């Protein structure tokens, strides 16, 4: 690990509380991980899988069980998140894991001779402005092997103002059903365009193509989250 002071990424939850809170905030959160793993099952088995914005390592822990020959690299801008991931994965084979120095995706310095076959970025780039998001996507494109696959899930912006109103109400209703207070819901929804900056599905598809990917597809879609996969 780095000698940097522990830091948080842009999530409002503390690293040690993240897992218990995220499923109450993001609908279908466990389904997102299942969709990622199911897609990778449809690909040639990856030798190297980089999970950027890895958080507490939940996706990697599940993927390690499904892909016993794959080596996993974990990256997150928060040293505290990486520390939580180390704890969660402490019972896994150390030779199959590498915890990288804390860094945002867009600032990643690659120091390995081999490139990843798969890169995942799950619910992490919507905290970035348009310029930084494009830079992060291009970094992932450049890092991948030829024929490699980039998989990303993000909060997305509805196409219309009316859609934003309905989507926020839908999202708020979900959080209330999970035990959140109205005050907590209002505070979370107020983060839109202030602390996180979702873009539309159309903008996602355009930005992924502009990064250079030859194949860009929608993998999964809910009312305010969507998943995409791209082939270099």
Task: Please state the pTM of the whole predicted model.
Answer: 0.90
- Domains plus CATH for the chain? 15-160+196-231 (3.40.50.150)
Task: Dump pLDDT digits (tens) for 26-40.
Answer: 888 879 999 999 999
Task: Dump pLDDT digits (tens) for 86-118.
Answer: 999 998 888 999 999 999 999 998 988 899 999
Distance CA 196, CA 154 (A): 11
Q: Assign 144 to helix, strand or coil.
A: coil
Count of H-run helices and E-run strands, the chain: 8, 7
């Amino acid at each position: 690990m780095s000698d940097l002071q522990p830091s948080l990424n842009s999530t409002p939850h503390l690293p040690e509380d993240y897992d218990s809170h995220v499923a109450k905030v993001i609908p279908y959160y466990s389904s997102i991980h299942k969709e990622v793993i199911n897609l990778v099952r449809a690909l040639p088995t990856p030798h190297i899988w980089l999970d950027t914005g890895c958080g507490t390592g939940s996706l990697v822990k599940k993927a390690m069980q499904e892909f016993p020959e794959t080596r996993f690299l974990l990256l997150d801008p928060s040293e505290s998140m990486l520390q939580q991931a180390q704890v969660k994965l402490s019972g896994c084979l150390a030779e199959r894991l590498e915890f990288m120095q804390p860094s945002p995706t867009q600032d990643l310095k690659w120091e390995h001779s081999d490139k990843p076959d798969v890169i995942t970025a799950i619910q992490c780039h919507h905290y970035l402005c348009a310029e930084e998001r494009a830079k992060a996507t291009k970094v992932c494109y450049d890092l991948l092997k030829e024929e490699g696959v980039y998989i990303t899930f993000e909060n997305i912006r509805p196409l219309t103002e009316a859609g934003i109103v309905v989507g926020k109400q839908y999202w708020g209703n979900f959080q209330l059903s999970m035990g959140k207070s109205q005050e907590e819901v209002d505070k979370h929804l107020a983060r839109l365009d202030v602390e996180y900056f979702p873009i539309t599905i159309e903008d996602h598809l355009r930005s992924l193509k502009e990064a250079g990917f030859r194949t860009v597809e929608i993998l999964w879609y809910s009312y305010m989250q969507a998943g995409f996969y791209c082939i270099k």
